[in-house]
């Protein structure tokens, strides 16, 4: 039930960000409101720690998406995207409550991959991509 716990926690954190108008828990390019957030699993890895435990790291991709056509590129990147990214990162810093999953200690790391412009059937989109990593100790 680790994935389900992580999905729930990420969704709860994002629901509390007032800037975020739409949340998707799977890859999509269909948005009706902006800023939109998309997140989904991107991988899992194991690292040996001791003969009794190892660390498992669950990775998720998170994208913040904003339609550019309603305003200027300058406003989207300098104001809307910057403010939304700040609020999402702050929400993760303040709201991460999965200190343990199934009695296993967890850690959270959110790294920015980059900002870009993409095209869609509705016009230009500003996109900010993040890697979320949830690391937990696991008995082996």
Query: Domain-by-domain residue ranges, the chain?
Result: 2-139
CB atoms within 10 A of CB 59: 15
Give pLDDT tens digits along the chain (140 positions): 788 889 999 999 999 999 999 999 999 989 999 999 999 999 999 877 676 778 889 999 999 999 988 788 999 999 999 999 999 999 999 877 767 777 777 888 999 999 999 988 878 999 999 999 999 887 77
* Three-state DSSP state, 77: helix
Top-level class of domain 2-139:
alpha beta
Cα-flanking dihedrals φ and ψ of residue 33, to 5°? -135, 150
Helices 82-95 and 2-15, packing angle to 10 deg: 130
Structure tokens at 79: 């104001």
């Amino acid at each position: 039930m680790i994935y389900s716990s992580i999905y729930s926690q990420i969704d709860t954190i994002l629901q509390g960000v007032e800037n975020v108008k739409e949340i998707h828990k799977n890859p999509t390019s269909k948005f009706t409101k902006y800023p939109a957030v998309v997140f989904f699993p991107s991988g899992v890895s194991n690292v040996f720690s001791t003969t009794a435990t190892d660390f498992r790291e669950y990775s998720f991709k998170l994208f913040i998406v904003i339609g550019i056509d309603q305003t200027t590129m300058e406003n989207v990147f300098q104001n809307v995207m910057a403010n939304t990214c700040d609020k999402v990162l702050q929400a993760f810093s303040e709201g991460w409550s999965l200190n343990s999953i199934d009695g296993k200690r967890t850690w959270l790391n959110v790294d920015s991959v980059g900002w870009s412009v993409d095209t869609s059937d509705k016009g230009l989109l500003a996109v900010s991509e993040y890697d979320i990593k949830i690391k937990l100790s696991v008995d082996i």
